[in-house]
Structures are given as structure tokens and as C-alpha cells.
Amino acid sequence: MKILSVRSLAIPEIKVIQVARFRDHRGYFTEIFRKSDFESHPQLSFLRGVDLIQCNESYSLPGTIRGLHFQWDPYMGKLIRTVAGRMIDLVLDIRKSAPGFGRIIAYDMPGRTEAEVGEWIWVPPGFAHGNCFPENTRIEYFCSGEYNPQSEAGISPFAPDLDWSCCDPDLRALFDATAASAPLITEKDRNGFSLASWLQHPASDRFL
């Protein structure tokens, strides 16, 4: 695969990886993942030793909000891409001793066939992850741990104590507009922890 760039977002542990698409008169071809390239690329050292062992696919209708989810036994990092549609990816820092604790960022990831590149976003353990979908969207994500419903939790994306100061204002506005228009969201996600209530949970000490 041809990796074009690797860059950090406002929370530097969150990475965006761009890969090339090779076009001709028929369309395009791309390698979206090759383990040896991910292990050997000099800018992807943060993925060395990470074993991606589960792959999930999700389809969401317009107005859907998911998350903010995380897991601790085992820990789960996620490598996510948009296959079709448009995903606004949401990432919240839940590492209690980190300078960015409580900050949430958003990244716009449309899945357009006319785009010259494909993109992955890497969300390591220590972060709660969610999405907002303004249109019909299908996403795919690799996980570094198997899902365990006994050790997963979520912080509500509507929690009043989230720090949105590092978030792109336009994406925050898009999220707020979606949230204000009867979003498609589970009650479990809507009624997730606030940051303050999560800090009272014994498992919060697992994310330092």
C-alpha cells in the first residue's frame, strides 16, 4: 500500500493516515491495509505491537449519533474508515492524568469515490469514541481487542462537562444541529456517564 501521510489532530495521540488511490478509466484501486506496511512505516511506530484482531462494520441513517464508547478488559484501540457516506468522528480524552482530559475533538471523514485519497483515523485506548452521521453512512473499523460487554461503558455525547474548546467550530455546530433535531440515538448512549460521574467509577483508574 502507498501511505501518503500520517498526521496528528488537536489531541496528538489521535492520528489520521492517508493512503493513495490509483485511478484509471474504470475507477480506482487502493490497498487500504497491509500489515507489513503498517509495521514498518517510520511514521506508524505508534501501531507497532498493536494486533488488530476484530473488524466491524456499521451502517447509520442520517441524524444518527453513536457513542462515546470505550472498553478496558481488554483495552480496545480502533482504526476507522468511512466506506460510503459521511462520518463526523468524535474522540474524548478519558485519561485522568493527561493534560487533555475531558477534551473532545471531531474529525470530518466523508467517504467519496471521487476523493484522491483514502483515510483511516486511529483512536488508541484511553479515549472514548463516537460518531455523528449527517447522511446514510457505512463505516468499517478494526479493533485491537475483542468486544467484552462486561467491561465497556460510555460517556454521553450530551454530557454538560465535556470540553469542546479544541473542536472545529463548524463540526461542533453540525453536531449541535443534529443533537437538536431529535437524533437517532440509543437510550444507553444518551444516558451515559458524565465526566464527573465516570470519575466516581472504579474502572476510571484504568485510564491514567
CATH number at residue 98: 2.60.120.10
Q: What integer best gives the mean pLDDT of the chain?
A: 96
* The one catalytic residue among 25, 41, 69, 201: 69
Using a cut of 0.85, tell me whether the model's pTM lies above it.
yes
Whether 141 sits among the annotated catalytic residues: the reply is: yes
Q: Is residue 54 part of a domain?
A: yes
Q: Is residue 208 part of a domain?
A: no
Q: Is residue 153 part of a domain?
A: yes
Burial of 118 (0-12, 13-18, 19+ CB in 10 A): buried
Q: Is residue 141 part of a domain?
A: yes
Q: Is residue 32 part of a domain?
A: yes
Q: Is residue 127 part of a domain?
A: yes
Segments forming the whole domain that contains residue 125:
3-201
Q: Is residue 207 part of a domain?
A: no
Q: What are 28-76's pLDDT values in tens digits?
A: 999 999 999 998 999 999 999 899 999 999 999 999 999 999 999 999 9
* The one catalytic residue among 41, 75, 141, 201: 141
Q: Is residue 206 part of a domain?
A: no
Whether 69 sits among the annotated catalytic residues: the reply is: yes
Q: What are 160-205's pLDDT values in tens digits?
A: 999 999 999 999 999 999 999 989 999 999 999 999 999 999 999 9
Per-residue pLDDT, 208: 86
Number of domains in the chain: 1
Provide, rounded to the nearest whole percent, the portion of the chain with pLDDT above 70: 100
